[in-house]
Structure 1
Amino acid sequence: MPSALITGITGQDGLYLAELLLAKGYDVHGLIRGQNNPKRQLVEKLLPEVRLHNGDLTDLSSLLRALRDAAPDEVYNLGAVSFVAYSWENAHLTTDVTAKGVLNMLEAVRLHCGYREGSDQVGGVRFYQASSSEMFGKVQESPQHERTLLWPRSPYGVSKVFGHHMTINYRESYGLHASSGILFNHESPRRGPEFVTRKISQAVARIHLGLQDQLVLGNLDAERDWGFAGDYVEAMWLMLQQPAGDDYVVATGETHSIRDFLDEAFGQVGVTDWTPYVRQDPRFVRPAEVDHLVGDASKAREVLGWKPRVTFRELVAMMVEADLEATRQGW
Structure 2
Amino acid sequence: MSGEGSSLVNDNRKVALITGITGQDGSYLAEFLIEKGYEVHGILRRSSSFNTGRIQHLYGKPACHTGGRMHLHYGDLTDTTCLISIITKIRPREIYNLGAQSHVKVSFELSEYTAQVDALGTLRLLEAVRAAGLAKDTRIYQASTSELYGKVIEVPQNEKTPFYPRSPYACAKLYGYWIVVNYREAYGMFACNGLLFNHESPRRGENFVTRKITRGVAKITLGLMEYLELGNLDSKRDWGHAKDYIEAMWLMLQQEEPEDFVVATGEAHSVREFVERAFKCVGREVVWKGTGEAETGHDAQTDQLLVKINPKYFRPTEVDLLLGDPSKAKEKLGWTPRVTFDQLVKDMVEADLDLMKRNPEAPCTDIFQTGFSEQLHKVVLN
> What amino acid is aligned across from residue 175 of structure 1 in structure 2?
G
Map of 1:219 onto structure 2: 232
TM-superposed deviation, 1:113: 2.2
Pick one of 10, 14, 23 that aligns with 1:11: 23
Pick one of 224, 243, 256 that aligns with 2:269: 256
Give me the whole-angstrom Cα distance separating, in 2, the residues matched to 1:125 and 1:184. Answer: 25
- Contact residue 22 and residue 53 of structure 2 kept, 8 A: no
Pick one of 149, 152, 171 that aligns with 2:184: 171
TM-score, normalised with respect to structure 1: 0.96
Give me the whole-angstrom Cα distance separating, in 1, the residues matched to 2:57 and 2:90. Answer: 20
Q: Percent identity?
A: 53
1:210-237 deviation line (CA, Å, top 9, x unaligned): 1100100000000000000000000000
Map of 2:347 onto structure 1: 318
TM-superposed deviation, 1:289: 0.3
TM-superposed deviation, 1:71: 1.6
Give me the whole-angstrom Cα distance separating, in 2, the residues matched to 1:216 and 1:41. Answer: 26
TM-superposed deviation, 1:314: 0.2
Pick one of 83, 95, 108 that aligns with 1:88: 108
Q: Work out which structure has the larger RCO, using CA pairs closer than 8 Å and 6 or more positions apart in sequence.
A: 2
- Contact residue 266 and residue 272 of structure 1 kept, 8 A: yes
Map of 1:155 onto structure 2: 168
Pick one of 273, 278, 282 that aligns with 2:307: 278
Map of 1:33 onto structure 2: 45
Map of 2:292 onto structure 1: none
Give unmatched runs, 5+ long, in structure 1.
Answer: 116-120
- Contact residue 87 and residue 94 of structure 1 kept, 8 A: yes
TM-superposed deviation, 1:281: 1.0
Is 1:45 matched up with 2:74? no
Alignment of 1:124-273 (within 5 A): 124-273=137-286
Give me the whole-angstrom Cα distance separating, in 2, the residues matched to 1:172 and 1:299. Answer: 21
Give me the whole-angstrom Cα distance separating, in 1, the residues matched to 2:334 and 2:278. Answer: 31
TM-superposed deviation, 1:43: 2.5
- Contact residue 113 and residue 125 of structure 1 kept, 8 A: no
TM-superposed deviation, 1:320: 0.1
1:5 partner SS: strand
1:264-284 deviation line (CA, Å, top 9, x unaligned): 000000110261210001111
Map of 1:118 onto structure 2: none
Is 1:296 matched up with 2:325? yes
TM-superposed deviation, 1:112: 1.2
Give unmatched runs, 5+ long, in structure 2.
Answer: 1-12, 288-296, 298-304, 363-382
- Contact residue 73 and residue 125 of structure 1 kept, 8 A: yes
- In structure 2, the CA distance between the partners of 1:76 and 1:114, relative to structure 1 (3 Å rule), is closer
- In structure 2, the CA distance between the partners of 1:112 and 1:197, relative to structure 1 (3 Å rule), is same
> What amino acid is aligned across from residue 283 of structure 1 in structure 2?
K
Give me the whole-angstrom Cα distance separating, in 2, the residues matched to 1:321 and 1:40. Answer: 22
2:203 partner SS: coil
Give me the whole-angstrom Cα distance separating, in 2, the residues matched to 1:114 and 1:254. Answer: 39
2:142 partner SS: strand
Map of 1:24 onto structure 2: 36
- Contact residue 35 and residue 54 of structure 1 kept, 8 A: no
- In structure 2, the CA distance between the partners of 1:112 and 1:37, relative to structure 1 (3 Å rule), is farther
TM-superposed deviation, 1:54: 1.1
Alignment of 1:62-73 (within 5 A): 62-73=82-93
1:113-163 deviation line (CA, Å, top 9, x unaligned): 254xxxxx3xx1000000000000000000000010000000000011000
Give me the whole-angstrom Cα distance separating, in 2, the residues matched to 1:44 and 1:211. Answer: 27
Larger CA deviation: 269-278 vs 254-263: 269-278
- Contact residue 54 and residue 66 of structure 1 kept, 8 A: no
Q: Which runs of 4+ in 1 moved over 2 A?
A: 40-49
> What amino acid is aligned across from residue 215 of structure 2 in structure 1?
Q
TM-score, normalised with respect to structure 2: 0.83
1:207 partner SS: helix
Is 1:58 matched up with 2:78? yes
**Which structure has the greater CA radius of gyration?**
2
Is 1:104 matched up with 2:117? no
Larger CA deviation: 187-196 vs 49-58: 49-58
Give me the whole-angstrom Cα distance separating, in 2, the residues matched to 1:150 and 1:11. Answer: 26
Number of residue equivalences = 324
Give me the whole-angstrom Cα distance separating, in 2, the residues matched to 1:169 and 1:38. Answer: 36
1:113 partner SS: coil
